[in-house]
Amino acid sequence: MISSIILPVLLQSATPYGSPVDPLLRPSEARPETPVAQPKPEPKSPADIRFNQCIDQAADNPEKGLLAANRWQIEGGEYLARNCLGFAYAELEDWPKAVPAFVLAAEGAEAAGDKRAAIFWSQAGNAAFVAGDNAAALKYLGLAVEQDQLDAMLRGEVHLDIARIYVAMDQYDAAKQQFVLVHELVPEDPLGWLLSATLARRMGDLALAKSDIAVAARLAGTDPAIALEAGNIAYEAGDVANATANWERAVKFGPDDPSAKAASRYLEQLQASVAE
């Protein structure tokens, strides 16, 4: 039997929307969107300028970023300095320290009426998830949604994160409900359709799995992870020919991609079983 691909491998898929496994939405930036007319940006305050500089430094050199964030805290940088500190810890993958820094930053931003509180809470939630604290992750992501300050794309990303946590907790029905919201908010996000297809396959709903993976393939037709999952779904439906064709596409689309390597293993297993 060919084993099912696990969720973390799927999350390595490169899509135009990025991967929500990365909790580090740059606090001063949104994920790429379809270009639209943008209002004239408001002038940045000295604190915002320093915040961006601190984040840039933490991204380039996390150790120096820690020093810069701590120095700024001493000088009265408050919640923005704390967020930069959390960002630096996250860049170092020191999640036990990143989580409380993000939480304090979110609480401070919320108290100050800063609209970035929602993003800071989402960072706290994702960091907690990576740290293995699913209950805290759900709490913080819930607070991000409650702020009602995220645009449709970012709200969709948060609900996708919540769905992933429910999957990790084996609460598939709750995850399925979150994917409904994801598809309403970001219908053009192929990763959302890919992961909902994977969940549907796990739940034994192959009709829904086929429907969702077809949407994902339409949106990102050359993504190896999508081709891999299409093959997984076909295989479980007993369609070996389509499973083989999709796994071969996965290998073709990105030979060095983890999904392509998994597809290659599945093809080898399939060939070995036929030869026996």
Predicted confidence at residue 274, as pLDDT, reads: 72
Q: What is the mean pLDDT of each run of 10 residues along the chain (276 residues)?
A: 30 31 32 42 81 94 95 95 96 96 97 95 95 96 93 94 95 97 96 96 97 97 94 95 96 92 93 77
Predicted confidence at residue 88, as pLDDT, reads: 96
Q: What is the CATH number of domain 188-276?
A: 1.25.40.10
Q: Hey, CA dihedral for 188, 221, 264, 246, is it positive or negative?
A: positive
Confirm or reject CATH 1.25.40.10 for domain 15-28+49-187, answering yes or no. Answer: yes
Structural domain spans, the chain: 15-28+49-187, 188-276
Same fold, 15-28+49-187 and 188-276: yes
Predicted confidence at residue 214, as pLDDT, reads: 97
Predicted confidence at residue 43, as pLDDT, reads: 64
